[in-house]
Structure 1
Amino acid sequence: MDVSVRLDGANQSGQLRSLAHDGRWIAAYNTHDESVDLWDLRTQRHIASLPDAGELTWGLAFSPDDGLLASAGPSGKVRVWDTGSHRSVAVLDTTSPKRKAQAVHFSPDGRSLAAAAADGMGNVTVWDTDRFRTRMTMKGHEGAAFGVEFSPDGRTIASVGEDSTLRLWDARSGRSLAVLDNHAGMTFDLAYAPDGRTLITGNNDGTVHLWDVRTRTGRATLDISAGTVYGIAVDAKGTSLAVANSDGTVQLWDIASERRTATLTGHTLGAITAAFSPSGSTLVSSGNDTIRLWDLDAGRATRHICDVVGPAVDRDRWRKLMPDVPFHMPCS
């Protein structure tokens, strides 16, 4: 399960600090040349470096139809590109007094774009994507807001930040719906399960919290024990959770049973973000070193290992190659 490849074709001598993945494209920001690079996931080839990036990028997000890519950075500007032509189509100003944008997310219908501000005030700004006009700004976080996401039905916006709160907002009016306390220090990322019933947050105390959206209460706390949780992702079926950690590992968890199913190792300078492919058979992760594609199909990974090592695999060799899979003799 830990067979991975590193994307090539672009300058990767810098740190890869943000990632977006929509099943067709992969976008990542590289600190070496301050570029936002696009890869074709199928061919794993570098397609383009998007123009006018020119600053540190903290957050990236694709629109649901793959047509747009948005970025957020410390200037407070949110930049939007057309993924087909690779041209810049909008540069949006947040209402952040200190002009810092941390994360971006499109609504499920693609008609709205939200950004979280790491400005000491935690504002969340929403624009329409027709003319890119500011629709509303939500205020409430004490300190920076680090993550923002629309619910699967588009009716609610969730945000997390430095104050350890999970906040829910009405996506039409901007009215505050709930303020939930993580009791976990800073909270860096969040993700809805596809059915909208569970909301998951990743925290800097090495925990992940699962929330019941209907009752707005905590459902479970997962002890990751791998340093700070920087990024989380849920697969399209809502069964698997990926957790990217400061120790360089990406852990996989079964959401229903709340059990860890695998630990992926390979990033050397910390894992920052993770995203599943639509089929759930591939996981994309980025860190301060590389972008990695992980094959989550255990059978396919086993066949690859057999091709490499031959028919004989002893227990010690198996434990090194696939530590999370029980030993058997697949290559005989």
Structure 2
Amino acid sequence: MKALHKLVLGLATGVIAIGTGVTLYTQHRFGTDPLTQVFRPVRRVTTLPAQPESIRDFQFSSDGQSMFTLDGNLSFTDVTTREGDEIAIVRQWDMATGEPLAVFANPIGGEEGLRVSFDATTQRVAFEGQESMVARWDLSASEPSPLAFPEELQNHVVKQHLISGNGQVGAAQQYDPERDEWSVLLWELETGSTLSQIPLEGDERLALSQDGAWLAVATLPPGAENGVAVSVWEVTTGSQRHERQIPLVDDTSQPSPWIRERTDLTLSQMGFAGETLWILSSWNTQQQWDLATNTLTDPVELPSEFSSTGLSRVSMSPDGRWVAASGKETLQLYNLTTGINLAIPNVSVYFPLEHAYLAFSPDGQRIALRGNDEIQIRETASGRLLTTIEAELPGSLLSFSADGQTLVGSDRNGLLSLWQIDTGEVKGQMQGSGVTRQSWLGGNTLLTVGIQPVIRIWDKTSGRLLSQVVDPEQRWFSWMGLIPSGALLTQAYGSTTLQFWDATTAAPIMTQEVGVRDNMTIVANQRRLVIHPHYGDHPIKVWDLETQEKRSISDADLPTDSRVGLALRDDLLAIAIDHSIQLRSVATGELITSIPNSLGSRLLWQGAPIALSADGTLLAFISGFNQVTLWDLPSQRRIRKIPIPMNVAASLAFSPDDRLLAVGGRSGQLHFFELP
């Protein structure tokens, strides 16, 4: 009996389920006897407390001796760790003892992982993340010009790039997969010559001084109530010049009740203002470290308006005097020296993810804000409106030029624009790539630092990085999955095309036009893909990967704007809708039989978990919030209904030898049932 390799890959916009096996039903037709039930004992043999909250996805190993699960209320492609949500951790469990065997988390860190896909057969893990990049633009040619990079950056993973305020020094926080080591590499942007390399732990906040002479490194320990360790390094020599523990808040001098009640204390931002390093905590307290005298100011609590949920992305002026934040309709300005607090109403500001929508001029006297269709330049001291610049699309504000006369920004389509501030005229435009977060403009050169999405594929056994996949147009992925053929399957946001990649080399293999964007359920085996779009009145589509033949199943009576459950076993396709389970031939689309099942719209919306056994004779499906039905396909008889106590079944899988049925639930437990 060939082993079942099943993978369910679910996310906010789609679900992928994967299986392999031998052809069993090319000619077979199921009986049409009246519905009967044959009672057979189904014994629960063990329960794994595998997850603290929920189990939505798991896989048996190919030999059936272990089980792989994903932490949290997640599926293998539904891991959102941005803004500190879930961390993608794949765990391996011993089926005989129920003990954990191994843990594999994203080596780049939790904040990098947006989605994760795991294949138990090849022991490969694919983490979606982001990659930092630096580009230099020739303004006269309106296109990128070559930029030299140190050889030490080759074959490394770069978590973030920085450029100094004068545009002369670059810094890259990098990870060496071969040595499992983190460091920051500093180099001359003009020549690509390495200046120094400083070892890191991996979870540090970095800041470069305006002149590129100093690098500040803040280590963020778990639970920062005791402060953060901050060190300052000389860039040219790589030697440490200053080090101290900086408390993020002083409870004795900050008696505000809202401070004492919060528990998510951490460093929010850090930057240089001349020879002063300023620190902003997540509790909206600011401190300054005078490096010349090695003195630290008392923490200054920002006004309570800055703690409002309507404000975010606090920005600091280059001189360290002004703090600014903007809500949907308010600009808040606070002077740390004088205590002046300004609230400017009726200011509409766009909130782009990972973009900067506020920018101070180099002297701190002006501030620019980007809205949905305009950019406002205001006087910092008074909040008075100075200039309004038209902007057709929302996007980000990057920076002022060194002389303060030009503003650089990027729209949501990656178009870089330069505006003359006093007239509002566009001085030049260039089609960029990625999401740009920082820039420097000097003379006829524009330097930009941005991010692009990347999928990194790791070998779980060795921990080795196998490949890195980047969309040619630097678009984010709406979903991804490792499929049984050994390839990586992706779709970019807004695209109607599926892209196949070699998981080892990251080379593109082929593309398939599917005609729909995002929001779809996919099941795959070695030969075929089956796709159902979640929204609209779309039929189920079948693609033969060998012959490139495409077919639609249009008579399945599918619900509109809803998910269906899909399971694929060779030429047999099971479709779970709100009133029945349909069994169809994948090759012809012909309906073989239909099993009644009153699932209900709520369970159907959750994806209607369904599973086929390795030999194709058993079907398991959700038939209620606390119930799973086991069905014998050749006799078309219900074997029995299996109650799941105090649980909501969220995922199903048969073991490779079909001796066990695994049921994962919302309570965070895996139940294993011995089958007759």
Residue identity matched to 1:87: S
Aligned to 2:198: 50
Aligned to 2:288: 126
Contact 1:20/1:60 (8 A) holds in 2: no
1:135 alignment partner, SS class: coil
Which residue, out of 155, 160, 164, partners 1:21?
164
Which residue, out of 143, 149, 158, partners 2:316?
149
Aligned to 1:115: 279
CA-CA distance at 1:251 after TM superposition: 1.8
Aligned to 1:217: 384
Cα 1:99–1:36 change in 2 (3 A) is farther
| Runs of 4+ off more than 6 Å | none
Which residue, out of 129, 137, 149, partners 1:8?
149
Aligned to 1:84: 236
Cα 1:238–1:131 change in 2 (3 A) is same
Name the CA distance, whole Å, in 2 between partners of 1:74 and 1:163: 30
Name the CA distance, whole Å, in 2 between partners of 1:21 and 1:186: 26
Cα 1:218–1:31 change in 2 (3 A) is farther
Q: Does 1:282 align with 2:282?
A: no
Aligned to 1:324: none
- Which of the pair has the greater relative contact order for Cα pairs under 8 Å at 6+ separation? 2
CA-CA distance at 1:274 after TM superposition: 0.9
Bigger drift between 181-190 and 253-262 goes to: 181-190
Name the CA distance, whole Å, in 2 between partners of 1:71 and 1:163: 33
Bigger drift between 246-255 and 28-37 goes to: 28-37
1:51 alignment partner, SS class: strand
Aligned to 2:271: 105
Residue identity matched to 1:238: G
Name the CA distance, whole Å, in 2 between partners of 1:159 and 1:15: 30
1:22 alignment partner, SS class: coil
- Indicate the structure (1 or 2) with the bigger Cα radius of gyration: 2
Bigger drift between 40-49 and 158-167 goes to: 158-167
Name the CA distance, whole Å, in 1 between partners of 2:409 and 2:422: 16
CA-CA distance at 1:69 after TM superposition: 2.0
Cα 1:22–1:185 change in 2 (3 A) is closer
Contact 2:213/2:234 (8 A) holds in 1: yes
Residue identity matched to 2:213: G
Name the CA distance, whole Å, in 2 between partners of 1:133 and 1:115: 10
Give TM-score, length-normalised by structure 1.
0.67
Name the CA distance, whole Å, in 2 between partners of 1:106 and 1:275: 16
Pairing of 1:208-287 with structure 2 (within 5 A): 208-229=375-396, 231-267=397-433, 269-277=434-442, 280-287=443-450
Which residue, out of 75, 94, 107, partners 2:248?
94
Contact 2:323/2:335 (8 A) holds in 1: no
Residue identity matched to 2:170: I
Residue identity matched to 1:128: D
CA-CA distance at 1:255 after TM superposition: 0.9
Give TM-score, length-normalised by structure 2.
0.36
Residue identity matched to 1:283: L
Cα 1:227–1:190 change in 2 (3 A) is closer
Which residue, out of 325, 339, 361, partners 1:160?
325
Cα 1:145–1:101 change in 2 (3 A) is farther
CA-CA distance at 1:236 after TM superposition: 1.9
Question: 1:66-87, CA deviations, whole angstroms, 9 ceiling, x for partnerless residues?
Answer: 4322356865645532223323
CA-CA distance at 1:258 after TM superposition: 0.9
Name the CA distance, whole Å, in 1 between partners of 2:270 and 2:334: 15
Aligned to 2:653: none
Residue identity matched to 1:90: E
Name the CA distance, whole Å, in 2 between partners of 1:171 and 1:149: 10
Q: How many residues align?
A: 276
CA RMSD of aligned residues (A): 3.5
Contact 1:246/1:272 (8 A) holds in 2: no
Q: Does 1:200 align with 2:368?
A: yes
Cα 1:3–1:114 change in 2 (3 A) is same
Residue identity matched to 1:210: I
Name the CA distance, whole Å, in 2 between partners of 1:253 and 1:124: 32
CA-CA distance at 1:257 after TM superposition: 1.0
Q: Which runs of 5+ in 1 are unaligned?
A: 291-332
CA-CA distance at 1:211 after TM superposition: 0.6
